[in-house]
Amino acid sequence: MDEESEHDQTRHAVVHRPIRKLGDPMLREIARPLCDLWTPKLRELVDDMLRAMLANGGVGIAAPQVGESLRLFILASRPNERYPYAPFMQPEAIFNPEIEWASEEVRKDWEGCLSVPGQRGRVTRAQRIRVRCLDPSNGESGVREYRDFVARIFQHELDHLDGILFPDRLEHGEELVSEAEYLKIRGLSAGTPL
Ligand code: ZN
């Protein structure tokens, strides 16, 4: 066994849950609201989602993408190879999210998705949102505000909970491109350092 395959085995041992891909019926379900407060099973799910997201270079991941039809996602903007200009934030687990208000100001920008590998598309999203979500430590709901790229991730992940994937949001079919073409358009190379 060479070093590389040993490394691969380690990586697979850590990522327990594979990412569901476009065509998987679970990605089209309306996810059910979370009723329980923090339970060991819920903490384990959040940890699994974080691991799967980090292993795949994502900045967000929704529970249905790892096979749980629950209204839960992780918001984790940070600069990385896929999104070199993303702002840094500590990952936040978001439960039972609802958008209370969205700005009329919108922006069309590139998105990708761990469940739609190798493709990017330009999607229009609100620039600012005010949201309500559950705090599972006390069962109360709270209001938060997000803007720009973080608001974009929020809207993308919330779509996952309603069975919507970013290609459904494209205004023009030609705005869906391969990852290779996207890198050319953005002047990036696959090996671009952070
Ligand atoms: Zn996605």
- Tens of pLDDT, residue by residue over 71-82, are 999 999 988 666
157 is catalytic: yes
- Which of these ranges, 78-87, 103-112, 120-129, has the smallest mean pLDDT? 78-87
Distance 97 CA to ligand 1 centre (A): 16
Helix (H, G, I), strand (E, B) or coil at 127: coil
Question: What span, in angstroms and rounded, lies between the C-alpha atoms of 46 and 63?
Answer: 8
Contacts of 109 (CB under 8 A, 6+ apart): 122, 123, 125, 152
Give the pLDDT band (50/70/90) at residue 60.
very high
Give the pLDDT band (50/70/90) at residue 185.
confident
Mean pLDDT value across residues 26-35: 95
Residue 176 vs residue 35, higher pLDDT: 176
Alpha-carbon distance values, 106 to 9, 94, 103, 128 (Å): 43, 23, 7, 8
Active-site residue, selected from the candidate residues 4, 92, 140, 157: 157
Q: What percent of the chain has pLDDT over 90?
A: 69
Report the CATH fold assignment for 18-185: Peptide Deformylase (3.90.45)
Distance 115 CA to ligand 1 centre (A): 6
Give the pLDDT band (50/70/90) at residue 57.
confident
Task: Say yes or no to pLDDT of 2 above 80.
Answer: no
Distance 113 CA to ligand 1 centre (A): 4
Distance 27 CA to ligand 1 centre (A): 10
Mean pLDDT value across residues 86-97: 92
Distance 1 CA to ligand 1 centre (A): 35
Domain range annotation of the chain: 18-185
Mean pLDDT value across residues 10-20: 68
Distance 53 CA to ligand 1 centre (A): 10
Give the pLDDT band (50/70/90) at residue 35.
confident
10 Å CB burial of residue 193 (0-12, 13-18, 19+) is exposed
Mean pLDDT value across residues 148-168: 97
